[in-house]
Structure 1
Amino acid sequence: METMSKTYRGNQTREISFPLGGIGSGSIGLAGNGRLVDWEIFNSPNKRSFSGFSHIAVKAEADGKLMDARVLQGDYPAPYMGEPIRGGAMHSGYGFGPESNTLAGMAHFRQVEFEGAFPFAKLAFTDERFPGQVNLTAFNPFIPLNDKDSSIPCAMFEVELENPLPHPVTYTVAFTACNPKPTEQIVHAYHFAEGVHSLKLGSAQYAEDDPRFGDITLAVQEETVSYQEFWYRGGWFDNLEMYWRDFAKPGMLTNRNYLPEQPPQRHQDNATLAAHMELAQGERRKVRFVLSWNFPNVINHWNPEPAVQPTAWRNYYAGLFLDSLASAQYALREWERLEVATRDFQTALFSTTVPPVIMEAVSANLSVLKSAACLRLTDGSFYGFEGCIEDVGCCEGSCTHVWNYAYALPFLFPSLERSMRSLDFRYNYREGGSMAFRLMLPVGREPEPFRACVDGQMGGVIKAYRDWKISGDHDWLASHWDVIKQSIEYAWSEENPDGWDADKDGVLEGRQHHTLDMELFGPNAWLSGFYLAALKAGAEMAEHFGEAERAIEYRALFAKGKAWVDEHLFNGSYYTQRLDLSDRRVLEIYDNGESLAGDNAVADYWNEETGEIKYQIGDGCVIDQVIAQWHANLCGLGEIFDPAKTQAALRSLYADNFRSMRDEANAWRLFSLNDEAGLVICTWPEGTQRPAVPLTYASETMTGFEYQAASHMIQEGMIEEGVAIVSAIRDRYDGEKRNPWNEMECGSNYARSMASYSLLLSFSGFEYDLNRGMIGFAPVRAENGKFRTFWSIGSGWGVFEQHSSGAELQVLAGHLTLNVFKLPQLSGIDRCRAVYQGGEQSSVLLEGALIFPNPITIQAGQSLRVTWE
């Protein structure tokens, strides 16, 4: 199997920070040179942060003499003038060179290679002075459908050593961690239980319900271990001097301790745990360390309730583990099982036969789930920011119009995705059918008063439909059906001050808030498409619940709206907006409620100087014009727009919006520069008029939007064009200019980038409906009839493989109960053979599907084989 992992060297490692941590549990970044950075374990982002002298170091000795000792890091990346620090320690920052805690001044490795294939990072360190190559593998469990083990608050490190010399060598691997919360009453304690050596670092100063309460633990499972509970306390740089003196000599560490009542001096306290082993010539050994954390109390520090003492809640992992010692012991005890399951996922995912750049995009953005952009609430429910600012989540509330694009969570951890729907429908619903699009924390807080958002609200209906099909959970859908209906019908409700579809004709004409943070006025395919897809999904759900009249009503509205949009909004090349930009009366009709710029529509949108309405598409070619069809293809909703017009729109989008940024005039945020290429949000091709103040973010290249369009192109047969767009994105995130595991939009670790997971679904043509017990595959490209892909759905996951005369569906975890198995190759053949558990299964061929009169349940480790002639 080709792993498709990518290796970064030299300058290409400078921006890397690979997040290691659980889903919603925080993370620590592994830098491209091996340093531990971005300590985001305190229930909030913490970009560009470090934690004291935390690091791994190695040494080799023989015959009682030190051969070499080095920090397990490569060269510190330039510049070397020092980082600007505002309010930092005197005599530090710019003009003083790198900080001493970078360990750039200590002996380190000359060469390092960083190989990344999420969820594993592997670094190879070499130096002519050190006997043998040292390999570091780091990960946190990532196991589809197993959200508990994928949420452990820890980072797991495996250091591999091999003795290349003709005589025995004693190697030491030492892991140092800094107590990250400098306080009084510092407590560092060594523990040994069931073969696990650990150092727990905390403080006795805070009560257990205090948001500042917490601890971290270093743990290792080795026979020969030494440790220092505390580094030497002193002034100047005494601590580092004494540590290196203790480490860089033959033998084991001697413990040092201080009492809690002894106050620290200038520096934060560090502790070191070291494993020692003797290797014979050619012998290879691996040492496993776990760094875990426990900061269980969360408060809303980003948007606290006015005049209310912040209410703390316990995060999910606090209900699983008593403290960081418990999670470290669990991770070490279960290491083999956790690593095997995570490797099985990685192997299955990377076995997919797509261009390597596609798999790079699919896998890299899964790391968002491990970032500080995500939280898990006390009951395990999932909550997400849009992204991360340096020290706070950016744009709170599991924002519905952003998370619309994020297709990884619903397929890999469907129960977590459904928890987002449940929170949304329970807490964001407002009397009359309006939905807030940001969930306020703590849960139960009043929804924000901001106006409803079309793509967020209608997207919520589409996502509920999708999640129902992924899970087959009737009861879950039934519990939210009343709110889903009201969400749809709010479009024509008299309670809707924005008059989305006031005349109930299936087309949106009113004031329409959307994911580009302002409002459109008048009919447009982008937002009307969301409405049409929601109507179609709603009709199918209504039928499921026996509401035939409602289903008929929704379908009639859908048909009427679809016909109008296709006839009146397609200009021969792409879909546009129907609006007279010079008509101020449009704004006067809908001059109510808040926008991001204020309350008054005329004041916010009217450009008096040019006599135009601002922030509109007009005749422009916008990136999301047919996004509803993308959603429909992924969710099994069928046709939303005319197929030929959809393909024409995508061809125009590629021709008009995909461009190099060298000669562009971009007044907005700069996500592409110089000769980098990208798919911009909106263009006005030759012969059209660009508004003086155009659609918000018009000139930007935002990866989530780009992945959506590229994925849709692939669905429609424009494979080369889709791959070209993805390649342009990943060229921008090359490790030197930007972090390959952190794509940006409104902040870093941006949720919308998980639209890249849809590339996998588009290439494989994955179909699913667990209500019917159906899955299917229709790959867009199969070389010589061969194709292989990873798949995951509510009850199980595995791989699908086809060749010219057969196919195999393997379940690697969970199970899959099948009534219908759809493959395009089954169309037009008279007979096929289905074999399950060594026996032929009774089945019926019908219109490209294999139907089993008696459902079969494929368990983990089993497969279904189908052959035809």
Structure 2
Amino acid sequence: MFPKWKNYYANLYSSSPDVADYIWNNFDRLYEETAKFRDLLFETTLPDYVLDAVSANISILKTPTCLRLPDGTLYGFEGCHAHSGSCEGSCTHVWNYDQATPFLFPALARSMHDIYYKYNQYESGKMLFRMMMPPEKTKIIFSKNNGPTRAAADGQMGEIMRIYREWKISGDSEWLKEIWPKAKKALQYAWSSENEYHWDENCDGIMEGAQHNTLDVELFGPNAFISGMYQGALLAAYEMGKALGDPDHEKYLEIFNKGNRILNDRLFNGEYYYQAIDFRNDDRFPIDQELGEIKNQIAEGCFIDQTLAQWHASLYGLGRIFDADKHQTALKSIYRYNFINHRNHVNPCRIYALNDEWGVVLCTWPKGNSPKIPAPYSTECWTGMEYDYACRLIQEGMVEKGLEVVKAVRDRFDGKKRNPWSEFEAGNNYARSMASYSLLPALSGFRFDMTKGFIGFDPRINQESFKCFWSCGSAWGQYCQDESSARLEVCYGRIVLNSLGLPPMLVKKATEVKINGKKVEFIPREDRLEFGNHVYLEKGDILKVN
């Protein structure tokens, strides 16, 4: 028998009067903290449509898309329908895109990883990418979506990068130490002899086998989208393994380096990264006899998330996966070929943009060489992918183009044509849309590494007068700067800093640092101020740099 399932709140409170009693006794604190969060989030110099995208999609965490299991663990559908969740359950290849939960509720984000590895992982390292309810059913009773033993390559590799993110946000190396053996096993499944999908049989850092992914099909052969995620996982595993003293960490870097050369030399066609497969003649994979080619492939298409891994890597401080010049060229190609007015766009699939609305479609074939049955959903616009693409543009210095894409999305969800609090894909309040939160750290140039007591800022816009909300680990607050000074305020929680990152121009100008008016010793470095001793900041504390 499986355990009887109930919501977490049913374990906290025995009845609705109990809930009312708690609220009554804690109302002042709850209201104050909620109002402060709201005020800081909206008291910003970011464009209003960016704030709209960030704030509206945070609401997904309070919809039926998300719930908490009896022990408090976060569980999420992909989205929600009127009477049910849409596609169970904490789907790795969709929740890969969520950036709101890890920054705002990092303990909940970590709980997702803990339960993934507890119930979804086989001894071989393979992970089911969906979780059933209750979780104990996952490897016993299968759904039509989950399949009996299906693993998703992008989800499994993205999960490893997300663990790296959670470690750097929390600074909790004990948590990393506990989960590391399972994460390591998930990575090594890529080249394991037990991998029935043959992802990376020759251990060259590039996936060639059958790669199930967020397009709900298998991609075959080398492609930048999924091999990029694999590269990111290798890089994250190298860093985590090195920190934990795991002797295998050098092997991960060696595999990464081999694959990185292939990724950037062979999977770039001069305009963008693509899928290097002869989809008409490669008999290693299932050629449809009627079509005379492999179905559901990207091939030489220009795919919106061809460099998705760089979004993750840049946000988490992992460094370069895609060559900078080639990556920027690819992003410009996506802008040229995929960001379109929909008036004359032929779309036989689901309608997420129409008439004179603008949006970034998933895939185009600029050379006119589309497969007869191409990758699914190619003619659609998915807001989560549009946000991560906009963020990549911003990260690479193409801020105006990135903001243009964000505005186009929010113009579609303006409250007149569509619900501004429900960006839908496969269901309402779709989890992938929480990619929008990444716009906040991207535009503020937010960096973090709580294993070293470090956070930093380097705004991409309004540098002469900038203000925004920040959240990391157990604290959140507000950051402000002008041409000669910076101000960091903690409005909730507590944070311990050894250094504070600032734009180089402010580091050069810095003559003093004060906390609540008291001077603090510091040493200026190229892009940060290092403090002589740990700096402890709690609610109400203000650090000023002049």
- Normalised by the length of structure 1, the TM-score is 0.61
Pairs within 5 Å for 1:6-25:
none
Q: 1:802 matched to which residue of 2?
A: 481
Q: Could you tell me which amino acid in structure 1 is paired with residue 133 of structure 2?
A: L
How many corresponding residue pairs?
539
Provide the residue aligned with 1:394 in structure 2. Answer: 86
1:635-654 equivalences under 5 Å are 635-654=316-335
CA contact (8 A) 1:539 1:554 kept: yes
Aligned pairs for 1:285-296 (under 5 A) are none
Report deviation, 1:311.
4.9
- Aligned equivalents of 1:781, 1:446: Cα separation in 2: 46
Equivalent positions of 1:560-709 (< 5 A) are 560-587=258-285, 602=286, 606-685=287-366, 687-709=367-389
The AA in structure 2 aligned to 1:488 is: L
Match of 2:407 among 727, 734, 742: 727
Deviation of 1:754 after TM superposition, in Å, equals 0.5
Task: Pick the aligned partner of 1:366 from 30, 36, 58.
Answer: 58
Which AA in structure 2 matches 1:467?
E
Tell me, yes or no, if the aligned pair for 2:458 and 2:503 is still in contact at 8 Å.
yes
Q: Which amino acid aligns with 2:444?
A: S
Distance in 2 separating the partners of 1:734 and 1:831: 43
Equivalent residue, structure 2, for 1:57: none
**Distance in 1 (alpha carbons) for counterparts of 2:506 and 2:208:** 43
SS for the counterpart of 1:481 is: helix
Report SS of the residue matched to 2:240. Answer: helix
Cα drift, residue 479 of structure 1: 1.0
Residue 339 (str. 1) matches residue 31 (str. 2): yes
Q: Is residue 488 of structure 1 aligned with residue 187 of structure 2?
A: yes
- Give the counterpart letter for 1:630 in structure 2: W
Q: Which runs of 5+ in 1 are unaligned?
A: 1-307, 588-601
Q: Distance in 2 between matches of 1:838 and 1:464?
A: 38
CA contact 1:352–1:788 (8 Å) conserved in 2:
yes
One-letter code aligned to 2:387: Y
Distance 1:439 1:532 in 2: 25
- Partner-residue secondary structure (3-state), 2:497: strand
Q: 2:325 & 2:79 partners in 1: Cα distance?
A: 36
The CA deviation at 1:559 is 1.3
Maintained 8 Å contact 1:827/1:847:
no
Deviations 1:490-545 (A, max 9, x none): 11110101111110111111111111110111111110110111111101111111
Map 1:148-227 to 2 at 5 A. none
Match of 2:169 in 1: 470
- Structure 2 unpaired stretches of 5+: 143-147
Per-residue CA deviation, residues 407-455 of structure 1 (Å, 9 max, x unaligned), is: 0000001111110010001111111110111112212224253321111
Partner of 1:715: 395
Q: Which has the higher contact order (CA 8 A, sep 6+)?
A: 2
Verify the 8 A CA contact 2:504 2:526 in the aligned structure 1.
no
**1:834 to partner: Cα distance:** 1.3
Output aligned runs, 1:7-406, within 5 Å: 311-406=3-98
Q: Does the 8 Å contact 2:484/2:506 carry over to 1? A: no
Shift of 1:584: 4.6
Is this contact kept in 2: 1:827–1:849, CA < 8 A? no
Indicate the residue corresponding to 1:552 in structure 2. Answer: 250
Q: Give the conservation status (yes or no) of the 8 Å contact 1:620–1:688.
A: no
Corresponding residue number in structure 2 for 1:790:
469
Classify the secondary structure of the residue corresponding to 2:500.
Answer: strand
Q: Is the 8 A contact 1:683 1:698 kept in 2?
A: yes
Residue 201 of structure 2 is aligned to residue 520 of structure 1: no
The answer on 1:425 being equivalent to 2:117 is yes
The alpha carbon displacement at 1:826 in A equals 5.2
Q: Deviations over 1:314-345 (max 9, x none)?
A: 31111222211221233244333222211100
User: Once superposed, which parts of structure 1, at least 4 consecutive aligned residues long, lie more than 4 Å away?
Assistant: none
Quick check: 608-617 or 555-564, which moved more? 608-617
Helix, strand or coil: the match of 1:672?
A: coil
Contact kept, 8 Å, 2:455 with 2:500, in 1: the verdict is yes
Counterpart residue number, 1:864 = 543
| Separation (CA, whole Å) in 1 of partners of 2:330 and 2:254 | 25
Shift of 1:798: 0.3
Cα distance, 1:608 vs structure 2: 2.7
Q: Structure 2 length as normaliser, TM-score?
A: 0.96
Please state whether the residue corresponding to 1:835 is helix, strand or coil. strand
**Secondary structure of the structure 2 residue equivalent to 1:419:** helix
The separation in 2 between residues aligned to 1:342 and 1:446, in whole angstroms, is 36
Specify the code of the residue in structure 1 equivalent to 2:154: D
Q: Percent identity?
A: 48
Q: Which is worse superposed, 658-667 or 398-407?
A: 658-667
Please, what is the CA RMSD of the aligned residues? 1.5
Partner Cα separation in structure 2 for residue 586 and residue 566 of structure 1 = 24
Q: Among residues 463, 487, 490, which one is paired with 1:811 in the alignment?
A: 490
What is the one-letter code of the residue matched to 1:314? K
Amino acid at match of 1:653: I
Is the 8 Å Cα contact of residues 483 and 506 (structure 2) preserved in structure 1?
no
Map Cα deviations across residues 733-767 of structure 1 (whole Å, 9 max, x no partner). Answer: 12232111111000111000100101111101110
Amino acid at match of 1:371: T
Decide which of 451, 456, 461 is 2:150's aligned counterpart. Answer: 451
SS in 1 for 2:137: coil
- Mark the structure with the bigger radius of gyration: 1
In structure 1, distance between residues paired with 2:137 and 2:244: 31
SS in 1 for 2:232: helix
1:414 aligns with 2:106: yes
Contact kept, 8 Å, 2:485 with 2:506, in 1: the verdict is: no
- Displacement after TM superposition at 1:607 (Å): 3.4
SS of alignment partner, residue 586 of structure 1 = coil
Does structure 2 conserve the Cα–Cα contact (< 8 Å) formed by 1:521 and 1:586? no
Q: Report if aligned partners of 2:192, 2:201 keep a CA contact under 8 Å in 1.
A: yes
Cα displacement string for residues 376-409 of structure 1 (whole angstroms, at most 9, x for unaligned residues): 1111111000001221101101001100101000
SS of match in other structure, 2:284: helix
Q: Secondary structure at the match of 2:493?
A: strand
Give 1 or 2: higher helix fraction.
Answer: 2
**Displacement, 1:688?**
4.0
- Return the alpha-carbon distance in structure 2 between the equivalents of residues 444 and 582 of structure 1: 42
CA distance in 2, matches of 1:827, 1:772: 21
Structure 1 equivalent of residue 145 of structure 2: none
1:509 to 208, 212, 220: 208
Cα deviation, 1:331-361, whole Å, max 9, x if unaligned, reads: 2443332222111001111122111000001
| Amino acid in structure 1 at the alignment position of 2:389 | A
Deviations 1:221-274 (A, max 9, x none): xxxxxxxxxxxxxxxxxxxxxxxxxxxxxxxxxxxxxxxxxxxxxxxxxxxxxx
| Aligned amino acid, residue 479 of structure 1 | E
**Which residue is 1:851 aligned to?**
530
Deviation digits for residues 201-239 of structure 1 (CA, Å, limit 9, x no counterpart): xxxxxxxxxxxxxxxxxxxxxxxxxxxxxxxxxxxxxxx
On the 8 A contact 1:576/1:620 being kept in 2, the answer is: yes
Is the CA contact (8 Å cut-off) linking 1:684 and 1:690 kept in structure 2?
A: yes
Q: How far 1:674 sits from its partner (Å)?
A: 1.8
Distance 2:444 2:506 in 1: 18
User: C-alpha separation between the residues in 2 aligned to 1:705 and 1:413?
Assistant: 22
Look up the equivalent residue of 2:515 and give its one-letter code: Y
- Tell me, what secondary structure is at the counterpart of 1:444? helix
Q: Is the 8 A contact 1:845 1:851 kept in 2?
A: yes
475, 480, 497: which one aligns with 2:196: 497
Deviates more, 1:510-519 or 1:322-331: 322-331
Contact 1:826 1:849 in 2 (8 A): no
